Chain A
Amino acid sequence: MSRARIHNNIRRLRFNASEMTQQEAAAEESTMKLTGYSSMSNLGKRTVWLLIGTLMIYGTYFASVLRNAGQSQFAGEALWRLMWAVVAIIGIEILYHLAAAPAGVQPEPRDERDILIESKAYRNGYFTYGAGAFLVISAVIAAGLAHIAVTPFLMVNLVLLFMVLAEVVKFVTQLLYYSRGLR
């Protein structure tokens, strides 16, 4: 039985025994969520901010670029958007490190658990990227057989999309393992 399910069962029992009012239960639940972030290691916190940054920046990028998916080459505005997205991700990483020290987040060495979680996260990201690359290759071959033109612009953006998806899967896996533990 999972830890969350055991916790829920205990809460239900306490609630049934009238030891805990509904307000207390709600307060405890919100505290649990807050302590979930605050009890994370620095690597976990870094993962949260990088995930938010990646989703915001590349979400905006793909929303704007895939609207003009018909263009054939990377040029002008599309190229600038791509460069801006890459620079912005690096900027977020730098900003996090600059803001971490004043906010009291001290750098701590990675332990074996962090390394194991990172390995598992990379594995899932690798599967995602492999599946995406396979999908892109299949789609291009199928489009070629059906005499549908596939522009290099669309192909490059599809490959990039799966790279970003792999990164998001990696971050989500890390957060999942940090929150529920290694099992």
Chain B
Amino acid sequence: MRDSAATRIIATPFLLVNFVLLFMVLAELVKLVSQLRYYSRGVR
């Protein structure tokens, strides 16, 4: 009973939306850092 209640709390759409948003921001950061790295050391 406690387990099922916990599952319902963990998988809320609010949390999932924020996770998707977090990874979108992370992807953008990785893109920017990659650009900076390639600009500084050249394309190899």
Q: Which residues of A contact B (CB under 8 A)?
A: 73, 126, 130, 133-134, 136-137, 140-141, 143-144, 150, 152, 155-156, 159
How many residues in B have their beta carbons less than 8 Å from beta carbons of A?
Answer: 12
A133 touches B20 (CB 8 A): yes
Q: List 28 A-B contacts (CB under 8 A).
A: A73-B7, A73-B11, A126-B31, A130-B27, A133-B20, A133-B21, A133-B23, A134-B24, A136-B17, A136-B20, A137-B17, A137-B20, A137-B21, A140-B13, A140-B16, A140-B17, A141-B17, A144-B13, A150-B13, A152-B11, A152-B12, A152-B13, A152-B16, A155-B13, A155-B16, A155-B17, A156-B16, A159-B16
In addition to A133-B24, A152-B11, 18 A-B residue pairs with Cβ atoms within 8 Å of each other are A73-B7, A126-B27, A126-B31, A130-B24, A133-B20, A133-B21, A133-B23, A136-B17, A137-B17, A137-B20, A137-B21, A143-B13, A150-B13, A152-B13, A155-B13, A155-B16, A159-B16, A159-B20
